[in-house]
Amino acid sequence: MAPEVLEGAINFQRDAFLRIDMYAVGLVLWELVSRCKAADGPVGEYLLPFEEEAGQHPSLEDLQEVVVNKKMRPAFKDLWLKHSGLSQLCETAEECWDHDAEARLSAGCVQERISQVRRLLTVTVPTSEQQQPHHNNTPFAMVTNVDLPPKESSI
């Protein structure tokens, strides 16, 4: 939940709900990055956002303490920050979950940044058989396809 939701200071206007949604987008980006393999780095066990900070089943009070009072956000691994594409996604996530709702990125801005990362990381590689350009449509680090048991969120 966004800080303003946890504080109970929700402005029931369309723009406020969009900002709350953008906070959630930041958490989803963190989850996506956490499931990517950067270079030779390992992909750890799946964690919910704030699981390291507040446990697997945090109470509302736990989340208020972590998100509102301590202004913490899920941590980025050093390995992610060293990968050009993942680091840009991490930066985007950080700007989506800004404590100040009005400072958060818009959905259009996030879409443009992801498109920009994709353009930068899309590589043209000649195939050995035809020597014609082949566009790699997987610009981000490889996402693991390991079937892990789902975790339930109490958030």
What DSSP assignment string belongs to 15-64? Answer: HHHHHHHHHHHHHHHHHHHHTEE-TT--------TTHHHH-SS--HHHHI
Q: pLDDT: is 81 or 143 the higher one?
A: 81
Q: Which pLDDT score, from 0 to 100, does residue 126 have?
A: 46
Give mean pLDDT, residues 6-16.
88
Q: Which pLDDT score, from 0 to 100, does residue 120 have?
A: 78
Give mean pLDDT, residues 65-69.
93
pTM given for the model? 0.73
Give mean pLDDT, residues 49-66.
91
Looking at domain 3-143, its CATH class is: mainly alpha
- Phi, psi (rounded to 5 degrees) for 125: -125, 125
What are the boundaries of each domain within the chain? 3-143
- Phi, psi (rounded to 5 degrees) for 95: -75, -20
Q: pLDDT: is 128 or 108 the higher one?
A: 108
